[in-house]
Structure 1
Amino acid sequence: MTKKLSIIVPCYYEEETIPLFYEAVEKVKKELNGIELEYWFVNDGSQDGTLDEMRKLNAKDKEHVHYVSFSRNFGKEAALYCGLQQATGDYITVMDADLQDPPDMLPEMIEILENEDYDCVGTRRTNRKGEPPIRSFFARMFYKLINKISDTEIVDGARDFRVMTRQMVDAILSMTEYNRFSKGIFSWVGFNTKYLEYKNQERVAGTTSWNFWSLLKYSIDGIVNFSQAPLDIAVYFGMLTSFFSGIGIVWIIIRYFLEGGDPTTGWTSTICLLLFFSGIQLMCLGIVGKYIGKIFSEVKRRPVYIIKEKK
């Protein structure tokens, strides 16, 4: 029986890359041993010609090419989640339209799923050639940090590009949370996963919408979604600070009675310490506020995305 591979492609300002992506995947189609392809392009609120390119491909190949267009930009996580919901294939893959995820890896990934005991074949980059050094440094630090403070392992260099079985995708879709961090979700649901390594690929066209600050925000969301360590750190730091402050107060009282003198001596250091610990308090409140904000988003139960057009 012929099996189907659903290809999910989140798109944000990818007008130039969509036709190139479609052509590249079609070239490897004959190597997929007769597996039928189903494309799901998701337009995440792009204001260029991204949606027009999707319409053109749909008109050219109505049977296999489908698209969804959001009412506004909801983010890549929402686009990815939407694609997973729309996909009907036996196997489902997530790929970027910029061809940084090599389509020629698909035949090997499908072969592994069909012949070995795996539910998912993922990919990870062996290098970060072409990235700014500061971004690469902080990316490595993020993976080291989150794997130390979270029970969910996230593989360093792992891409969203992976081929999954229908069973695994159904498990992912059962997680209906509003605040989504797919790299963590892919790992959290379990299932046997094998990673294939490849060298970093440059974009074929266009420019990335990710910058340092958006990646930093995404990293913070990942830590908050899959670890309570920041809350624990705030609690322990508060307890430690209170303990040493208590010792300091006792020492000041003893010193005053033993040596006498003006109790206001040393006001400069006192003010500096006061400002320092006030900053620590604000930081801890910010950590708590971040978690409360996530809870607030979840309890409102707003949709993860809103569809404006679909074919």
Structure 2
Amino acid sequence: MACHPVYSVAIPVYNEQDNLPELFRRLSATLAALDGDYEVIFIDDGSRDRSLSILREFYQRDRRWRYLSLARNFGHQIAVTAGLNYIRGKAIIVMDADLQDPPELIPDLIQRWQQGYQIVYAQRISRQKEGWFKRVTAYAFYRLLRHLTDVDIPPDTGDFCLMDRQITDILNSMPERNRYIRGLRAWVGFQQTSVPFSRDPRFAGQVKYTFGKSLGLAVDGVISLSQVPLRLATYLGLLAAAIAVLMVFLVLYWRLFYPNSPLIGYTTITIAIFFIGAVQLVCLGILGEYIGRIYEEVKGRPLYTVKEMSDVGTD
């Protein structure tokens, strides 16, 4: 029976055929210099290009470079979860395949882990060649999320991190479907620290995380870690009730003392109807987000289905 490796690297892949050869070259050089055995687990998230064929070639070249191919595109966070389910190492590194997460930073993460930290996350201090809108929205979101939740989620951190085996086992035991890995990683606690780095632009290809996908991930993060939106619905209802009571007194005042005022009549009624309708729709939308997630959880379907795999997870 083969011994489990010391280091495992989990890398979700979606249409990254142009990046994989360079990733193999740089990551191989980095891992070869480590002080222990390693394995690499690629999770093909339903790629439509040659990514899976390239991963097969990696495996034939070096059996430590394993792969897991999902039956369709389940999304980045589920792909990361699948990788965590199959890794075997004592220290687990999660990174993306587009080389925005530099493999050369891995030794720094490992050094902090060897000092006793159980979670070491890579913290971005700059974003090269990213537009101002992306930088501003990312900056605002991370800080808003910290205020909305009771979990101390470090700002400017993505999924690029190192986790101890104990942390990974805890994450694997969590059954929720709408997963926000970086939030769950902070939620578990334990000793955590950061390693700053400058995030590189994509090596090749198109950006996979569009604004819509980023917004969806942000909503998942807020809903999965915070009940503040539900409280907001309550506050909006109380605000609408208070304004309604105030309007009753104002309308009576205008009717008694200014009967010819243009504020009395259809204008006031129309404004009140639109305001109450907007509050109701916002509250229904917030409730709908939570109810939709409850519906997904109670169905009990598996998080993903596997189409093909190498000897991932076997001894």
TM-score tier by shorter-chain length is: over 0.9
Query: Hey, what does 2:27 align to over in structure 1?
Result: 25
Asked if the contact 1:9–1:97 (Cα under 8 Å) also holds between the matched residues in 2, the reply is: yes
The TM-score, its normalising length taken from structure 1, stands at 0.94
Identify which range, 270-279 or 138-147, moves more after superposition.
270-279
Q: Deviations over 1:276-298 (max 9, x none)?
A: 33122111110110110011111
**Relative to structure 1, is the Cα distance of residues 88 and 249 closer, same or farther in structure 2, using a 3 angstrom cutoff?**
same
Q: Which residues of 2 match residues 292-307 of structure 1 at below 5 A?
A: 292-307=291-306
Query: Hey, what does 1:81 align to over in structure 2?
Result: 81
Query: Hey, what does 1:44 align to over in structure 2?
Result: 45
Distance 2:130 2:153 in 1: 20
Distance 2:59 2:5 in 1: 21
Counterpart of 2:47, as a letter, is S
- What is the CA-CA distance between 1:39 and the residue it aligns to? 0.9
The alignment partner of 1:107 has SS state of helix
Q: Deviations over 1:162-213 (max 9, x none)?
A: 1111111111111121110011011001111110001121111212211112
Report sequence identity in percent. 33
Distance 1:160 1:228 in 2: 23
Distance 2:261 2:32 in 1: 88
**Relative to structure 1, is the Cα distance of residues 266 and 102 closer, same or farther in structure 2, using a 3 angstrom cutoff?**
same
1:167 aligns with 2:166: yes
Query: Unaligned 5+ residue runs, structure 2?
Result: 311-315
Distance 1:56 1:260 in 2: 84
The alignment partner of 1:32 has SS state of coil
Query: Hey, what does 1:101 align to over in structure 2?
Result: 101
The alignment partner of 2:126 has SS state of coil
Aligned residues: 308
Query: Unaligned 5+ residue runs, structure 1?
Result: none
Distance 1:199 1:263 in 2: 60
The alignment yields a C-alpha RMSD, in angstroms, of: 1.9
Asked if the contact 2:108–2:195 (Cα under 8 Å) also holds between the matched residues in 1, the reply is: no
1:16 aligns with 2:15: no
Distance 1:195 1:6 in 2: 19
Counterpart of 2:27, as a letter, is V
Query: Hey, what does 2:313 align to over in structure 1?
Result: none
Asked if the contact 1:70–1:307 (Cα under 8 Å) also holds between the matched residues in 2, the reply is: yes
Distance 1:7 1:211 in 2: 25
The alignment partner of 1:291 has SS state of helix
The TM-score, its normalising length taken from structure 2, stands at 0.93
Q: Which residues of 2 match residues 1-311 of structure 1 at below 5 A?
A: 3-33=5-35, 35-62=36-63, 64-114=64-114, 116-257=115-256, 265-311=264-310
